[in-house]
Structures are given as structure tokens and as C-alpha cells.
Amino acid sequence: MLNVAQVAADLKPTPSAKARIGLPFPDPWVLIPALLLVALGLLMVTSASMPIVERQTGQPFHFLIRQGVFVLIGLFAGGVIFQVPVARWREASSFLLLAAIGMLILVLIPGIGKEVNGSLRWIGVGSINIQVSELAKLFTLVYVADYLRRRGAELQTADFRTSALALFRPMAVLAVLAVLLLLEPDFGSVVVLMAAAMGMVFLAGGNLAQFGVLLFGTAAAMAVLLWSSPYRRARLISFLDPWADAQASGYQLTHSLMAIGRGELFGVGLGQSVEKLFYLPEAHTDFLFAVLAEELGLAGILVVIALFMTLVWQAFAIGQRAERLGMNFSAWLAYGLGLWFGIQSLFNMGVNMGVLPTKGLTLPFMSYGGSSVVVMCMALALLLRIDVETRAGGSE
């Protein structure tokens, strides 16, 4: 008599057979939106930078070539990372945290850190400047995901002392990183990192009362830091009423708002922006979104928002699938990466539209900057690796 159960067991792939069969193809609903954002970013960086760079260097495609090289480096790095099992990241989480802290300390040492526009955020390697805060954000989210995997049960316990201690430990680590980032200074990265990490803790089931107190305390600390610095205070005041000093502290924001307003429904046409012609500072980096809005209008804005929403939605879907499979590290990390993409893009767009104070944050996958686009490609590859491992029925 045919033993159906035995036949099914014989046909079930062993772990080694699974390795030979290979992993599923990456989720196109993650890969395609990200690649479209990169391609649109290359287009807009070229359009936004051509007038200034042609006048300065005589090479109108200077930034396009550099950004294209960075994209290729990012895709190569992403390809390498995609081959690395997620378990290796979990095993290296403590080392990655130490590396993040070490890089943030190194950048503050005179002679190693490179100052640009009054900020020590870069380490020069030949003609390339590496912004260490981008890598630090990625490494820190990996550490937080592993911490939540190890201590998640303690966070959810009814015992107040145990849950409070479990919540305090990652917050103490984040406080150290925040201090180092503020010394650069890089207030924008602090906000993004804290928001993403606290979002991960909340999704991991942290005690709501304690989380509320922590959220209030963090917001109060941010407000104090914002108001205690004359530079940041001036940015806050100019954000509240940029037209009061439109030729000084409100200059960037007023021209960003004028660019967005000129775009109307379908924009003035690709390459036809007026604000990028020596009016809008950092048009190809922090204020790329304003140039896009001027040239492509509301239609272009909605396309970009839809692409980011799809990417974030899928990141959370991947996290939910991993959580159902008991792959907690993968789940928290997928949530963290989705929060990072969403929060940073939201802040950049909010700054450009005048609903948030001005911060030096790039638009993920789009703005000019080698460190940003390379690290974002690495983070995307890590998210895709989590996706294929969960769909392959992996385990931790």
C-alpha cells in the first residue's frame, strides 16, 4: 500500500536541497519602486545641477557622472549584501554598533574628519567624502533589531521594573549615538534615527505607558536642543515665518516654496526650472524635491510619494511575514528599514514644503550624495534578502 506521508517526506527538500534550488526572485514591488526612485533621482540631479556646475566647471554633466558612479557602487554593494544571509547580520550586530560609535568618534577628530559648511560629518578618502552618519544609522538599526529579538519578551512583561530596564538599555545606546551626532552637528540624523528606533520598539510591543513617557521625554529633549542652539533656533523661527527675513534666514525656504508654487499641476517642464538658476541653494541635494515639484508639478510629486509609500508598505508586509514565521530579528529589521525610508523621505519633503524646520537630510535614493545613495542601496538589498528568506520558509 502506498504510504502517502512517507512519499511526501521523501519529496520535501532538505536544507542542502533548498540551497541548491536557490532563493526566490526579489519582490518586484520593492525592487521596482526603488529603482524608479534612483532613475528619477539621476534625472532630477542632472536637471537641478546643470546650470551651476556648467558655470563653475564647464562640465554640465559633472554631477550626473559622479552620481551615476555612486549608483553603480551602491548597486554592486547591494548585490554583495544580498548574498549574505540575514543571520550573519544578527551575529555581527554588536560589532556593527561598535563600528558605528567608532566612526562617529573618528569623524570628530581633527585631521580625520572633514568640515563642510561648518559641519564635521565626513571622512575624506581621496576625492570622495564618506558621511559616516549614513552607515551609523544602518548599523544601529541592525543592533536594535537584534536587541528586540533577545529582549522582546522582557519589554512585553507585566513586571514594571523588568520592562523599564529592557526599554532603558537601547535608549541609553541611542543617547550616546545622538550626542556624537549632535557634536558634528547633525540634528536631522538624530531625529530620523531616534524616530525609526523608537518605532521599532513600539512595534515590538513595548509597554505603552512607559513608551509614552519615553516619547514625551525624547520630544522634550529634542525641543530643548532645538531651542538651546542659536543656529537651530534661527532655523525654527525662519520655518515658522520664512517671509519675515526672506533674504537671510528664510532664503532657502522661500525659494523652495516659490519653486513648488510655480509647478502647479503638471510643472513648467523638465529642465525649465527658474529657481535652480542660482536662486535655490543646494538644489541638487537637500532641495531636489522642490526642483522636481517645479518642473513636474503636482503630478510628479504624487508619483514620488506613491513610490515611497509602496516601498514602505512592502517593507512592513515583509516584516509581518517574518514575524508570523517567528523570524523576529528579520521582522524588526524590516520594520526599521521601512520606517527609515518613510521618515527620512517625509522629513525631506516636509522641509521643502515648509511644514518642518530646515534640516540637512537627503531625499532617499534621489538626492545627490555618494554616501546616501550607496547606503540606501545597501539597506534595500538587506530588505530584499529578508524578503526572499521569509518566502523561502527560512528560520532563525
Helix (H, G, I), strand (E, B) or coil at 154: helix
Q: Where in the chain does DSSP place strands (E)?
A: 113-116, 119-125, 128-131
Return the residue matching grid coordinates 532538505. 14
For the segment 4-18, the average pLDDT, to the nearest whole number, is 43
Question: Does residue 123 contact residue 106 with C-beta atoms inside 8 Å?
Answer: yes
What residues pair up with 125 in beta bridges, in sequence order? Answer: 128
Beta strands across the sheet bearing 128-131: 113-116, 119-125, 128-131
Whether pLDDT at 13 is above 60: no
Range in 14-28, 216-230, 374-388 the model is least confident about: 14-28
- The residue that leads in pLDDT, 1 or 94, is 94
Q: Residue 131 phi/psi, 5° resolution?
A: -90, 105
Whether pLDDT at 37 is above 80: yes
Whether pLDDT at 305 is above 70: yes
Reported as a single tens digit per residue, the pLDDT across 68-81 is 999 999 999 999 99
Residue-averaged pLDDT of the chain:
86
Whether pLDDT at 88 is above 60: yes
Question: Does residue 379 contact residue 337 with C-beta atoms inside 8 Å?
Answer: yes
Confidence grade of residue 4 (pLDDT, cut at 50, 70, 90): very low
How far is residue 99's CA from residue 113's CA, in Å, rounded to a whole number?
A: 16
pLDDT for the residue numbered 1? 39
Whether pLDDT at 352 is above 70: yes
Half-sphere exposure of 249 (CA within 13 A, CB side): 16
Q: At what angle do helices 370-391 and 28-57 cross, to 10 degrees?
A: 170
pLDDT for the residue numbered 5? 46
For the segment 82-90, the average pLDDT, to the nearest whole number, is 96
Count the Cβ atoms, other than its own, within 10 Å of residue 147.
24
Confidence grade of residue 252 (pLDDT, cut at 50, 70, 90): confident
What lies within 8 Å, CB to CB, of 299 at 6+ separation is 265, 266, 267
For the segment 125-137, the average pLDDT, to the nearest whole number, is 84
Question: Does residue 171 contact residue 148 with C-beta atoms inside 8 Å?
Answer: no
What lies within 8 Å, CB to CB, of 107 at 6+ separation is 113, 120, 121, 122, 123, 132, 184
For the segment 262-272, the average pLDDT, to the nearest whole number, is 93
Whether pLDDT at 282 is above 80: no
Secondary element (H or E) of residue 209:
helix 208-228
pLDDT for the residue numbered 70? 95
Report the percent of the chain where pLDDT is more than 90: 53
Question: Does residue 24 contact residue 392 with C-beta atoms inside 8 Å?
Answer: yes
pLDDT for the residue numbered 236? 67
pLDDT for the residue numbered 232? 65
Range in 15-24, 231-240, 365-374 the model is least confident about: 15-24
pLDDT for the residue numbered 15? 42
CA dihedral 97, 114, 256, 301 (to 10 degrees): -40
Reported as a single tens digit per residue, the pLDDT across 161-220 is 777 788 888 888 999 999 999 888 888 899 899 999 989 988 887 777 777 777 787 778
